[in-house]
Every structure is written in structure tokens, then in C-alpha cells.
């Protein structure tokens, strides 16, 4: 069996996973330097014109460890729109409010189709395969709007993130909002299709309004890692005031992130990185090392599945070097 120091992580007497911070710092800084030398940066999302303007040659990384330290590298303080990563927060809010009833309107299966596939929604009669593909996220927004009036449409996800990071001065990129309203034909089609199957209770425009704003929440890697902290707390813990219900919810959200978080690329991501994670077309990825850390990476160039090309590579190297795959530690250092 590997000893604690041999993997860079070890279980302390209090049952928490402690980390070799010195080693983590070296690893994170090393990755930031390596990624900057990349020759292939991927392509920014261009179906949202505002995102197409972003310089792809940027990379940031921030790791928040369970004991509250942040280790960062590259452009870790540059803000970007979180896009589909917002769907994780929306799901967390819905699950807390409605519990298992959420799954009556949206599934928890990988879709095997692109995140904005119309045929996939039609095939499943308006029941989205999971909450991370666009129709699934639209249905979750519809749930969050229950009991709301038209002139009282909330920025629920932004407020939740504000609570998580203890700072409510969180911006929404209004240019991205406008851009996505103008270009969001496919999402409007998906919302209409869900409505035609009886799986959307509010007006399509209202659901779109809230959805587009949650996608345009602007965070840095440092902020995103902090916002996702609740996902690493997958054990009841008196010190952190994590309840059994919170821990159980985190574990379940992590399961959906692992199987569905990178869409069609989820299998490859699990193989290479081995961590629950959620990507966004803004180039961000939030990954979770259960009970240990949250990691946010950002690089706006995407691969063919709409996931950050270099963000994924960075996570692969981090997970490998820290031996953080949830599928087990393998390396003797
Ligand atoms: O609805 C859209 O198409 C975007 N606002 C979000 C899609 C997204 O981030 C997919 N993630 N990789």
C-alpha cells in the first residue's frame, strides 16, 4: 500500500484528506507555464458572437483546498462568463428546494448528443436526458421560476454564487446577455419543443431571460473554485457545518457531473482526468476532488464537444500529478 507522502495526499486522524501544499503549488505553477507554451489553443465559441471576440491565448487555474487555501496560476483573476457551469448551481438550488421531484422532469443519463440537440429532445418526448444539456437546464430554470411573477424574474444563480463566495458584487456580462438573446434561436426552439410536450410551465421568453443571465455570470477561476466549494464537502462534518443532506446532495451532483458534465466528451474526460466536472463554452471548467479540493480552469479555445481544450489538458495533468482521480491513486512519487 502507498504511504501518505507517496501520493501527495493523506488522510489525517480527523478523517479529512490533507494535502501537500508545497507539492500542489509546484504542480499548479508548472502546469501554468507548460500550457502557456501550447501551440494549439482551440477555437472560441462563435455561435455567441460576443464570445468569438475573446483572445483564445489565455489560461488560468485556481485550486481551492479543503482547508481554505487557494493556489493559483496564469490568468486566475481574469473574469469570463461561466456559461453552462451555471447549470450546476441551478441544479443544486433546484435539488435543495424540490428534492427528488426534480427527476420527474429531467433525467440523469448522458445524452450521447450535442448539448443543444433538438432531435435528442424530440426522441425523448420533451424529457431532457440530463440537467446539463441546454433543454435540461431550461427545464430546471422553469422549476426555479415557480411562484414567480413575470416582473419578478430573479438572478437566482448569481445570488447563490454570491452566498457561496461571501461577496455579492458579482457581475453579469450584459454584452454576452445581449449577444445570446440575439443568437439564441436553437435554445428558443428547444424551450418551445419542451413546452409543446408539456414540460415547460412558464413563457419561453421568461425562461430564456433567466437562463441567458445565469450563463453570463462573470467569475474568475479564483471565484469559481470558491463558488464550487460546497461540492467537495461530500461528508457530514461538524466543523464545516455540512449536514448529511448537503453532503448527500453534493455527492449526487458530482455523479451527474461525472457522467454528463462534458456532454459527448464525458467518457474521454473521465478516462483522462477522472474527476466530476462541468464545462462552459466560455472556456471554463469546474472540477471537484471530493473531500479535498475544487479546481477551476479557464482557456477560451474549445474542442469539438464545446469543452475547453487546454483547460481539459491542464486538469488531466493536475489530476495525474496529484494522483487525484476518483478511480484511485496509482503512483509512488
Ligand atoms: O445556451 C448555450 O448555448 C450557452 N449559453 C451555454 C452552452 C454551454 O456552455 C455548453 N458548454 N460547454
The reply to whether 267 and 247 lie within a common domain is yes
The reply to whether 211 and 230 lie within a common domain is no
Is 281 marked active-site? yes
Q: What is the pLDDT of residues 52-96, one digit of tens each?
A: 999 999 999 999 999 999 999 999 999 999 999 999 999 999 999
Spatial contact of 87 and 75, defined as CB atoms under 8 Å apart: no
Task: Determine the Cα–Cα distance for residues 283 and 56; give it in Å rounded to an integer.
Answer: 9
pTM of the predicted model over 0.85: yes
Of 184, 217, 250, the one marking the end of a domain is 217
Domain that holds residue 211: 79-217
The reply to whether 70 and 144 lie within a common domain is no
Spatial contact of 228 and 88, defined as CB atoms under 8 Å apart: yes
Task: Determine the Cα–Cα distance for residues 27 and 73; give it in Å rounded to an integer.
Answer: 10
Atom of ligand 1 nearest to the CA of 180: 5
Is 288 marked active-site? no
Per annotation, catalytic residue among 27, 28, 81, 87: 87
DSSP secondary structure string, 160-203?
Answer: HHHHHHT----EE-HHHHHHHHHHTHHHHHHHHHHHHTT---S-
Of 176, 202, 217, the one marking the end of a domain is 217
The reply to whether 299 and 322 lie within a common domain is yes
Q: What is the pLDDT of residues 22-60, one digit of tens each?
A: 999 999 999 999 999 999 999 999 999 999 999 999 999
Task: Determine the Cα–Cα distance for residues 179 and 234; give it in Å rounded to an integer.
Answer: 37
The reply to whether 67 and 140 lie within a common domain is no
The reply to whether 272 and 293 lie within a common domain is yes
Q: 44: CA distance to ligand 1 center in Å?
A: 12
CATH number of the domain bearing residue 132:
3.40.710.10
Of 161, 193, 217, the one marking the end of a domain is 217
Amino acid at each position: 500500500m502507498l504511504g501518505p507522502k507517496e501520493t501527495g495526499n493523506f488522510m489525517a486522524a480527523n478523517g479529512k484528506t490533507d494535502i501537500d501544499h508545497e507539492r500542489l503549488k509546484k504542480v499548479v505553477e508548472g502546469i501554468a507555464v507548460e500550457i502557456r507554451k501550447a501551440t494549439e489553443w482551440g477555437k472560441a465559441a462563435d455561435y455567441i458572437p460576443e464570445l468569438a471576440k475573446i483572445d483564445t491565448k489565455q489560461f488560468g487555474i485556481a485550486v481551492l483546498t479543503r482547508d481554505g487555501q487557494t493556489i493559483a496560476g496564469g490568468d486566475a483573476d481574469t473574469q469570463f462568463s461561466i456559461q453552462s457551469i451555471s447549470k450546476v448551481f441551478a441544479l443544486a438550488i433546484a435539488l435543495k428546494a424540490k428534492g427528488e421531484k426534480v427527476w420527474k422532469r429531467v433525467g440523469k443519463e448522458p445524452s450521447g448528443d450535442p448539448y443543444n440537440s433538438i432531435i435528442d429532445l424530440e426522441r425523448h418526448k420533451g424529457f431532457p436526458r440530463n440537467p446539463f444539456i441546454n433543454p435540461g437546464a431550461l427545464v430546471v430554470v422553469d422549476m426555479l421560476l415557480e411562484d414567480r411573477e413575470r416582473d419578478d424574474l430573479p438572478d437566482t444563480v448569481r445570488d447563490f454564487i454570491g452566498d457561496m463566495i461571501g461577496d455579492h458584487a458579482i457581475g453579469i456580462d450584459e454584452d454576452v446577455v445581449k449577444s445570446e438573446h440575439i443568437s439564441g434561436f436553437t435554445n428558443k426552439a428547444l424551450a418551445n419543443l419542451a413546452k409543446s410536450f408539456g414540460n415547460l410551465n412558464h413563457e419561453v421568453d421568461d425562461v430564456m431571460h433567466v437562463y441567458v443571465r445565469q450563463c453570463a455570470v462573470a467569475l474568475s477561476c479564483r471565484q469559481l473554485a470558491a463558488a464550487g466549494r460546497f461540492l467537495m464537502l461530500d461528508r457530514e462534518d461538524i466543523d464545516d457545518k455540512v449536514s448529511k443532506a448537503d453532503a448527500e446532495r453534493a455527492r449526487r451532483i458530482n455523479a451527474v457531473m461525472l457522467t454528463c458534465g462534458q456532454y459527448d466528451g464525458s467518457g474521454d474526460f473521465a478516462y483522462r482526468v477522472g474527476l466530476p466536472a462541468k464545462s462552459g463554452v466560455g472556456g471554463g471548467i469546474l472540477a471537484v476532488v471530493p473531500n479535498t479540493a475544487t479546481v477551476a480552469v479557464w482557456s477560451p479555445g474549445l474542442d469539438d464537444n464545446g469543452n475547453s481544450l487546454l483547460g481539459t489538458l491542464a486538469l488531466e495533468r493536475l489530476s495525474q500529478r496529484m494522483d487525484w482521480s476518483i478511480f484511485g491513486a496509482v503512483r509512488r512519487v
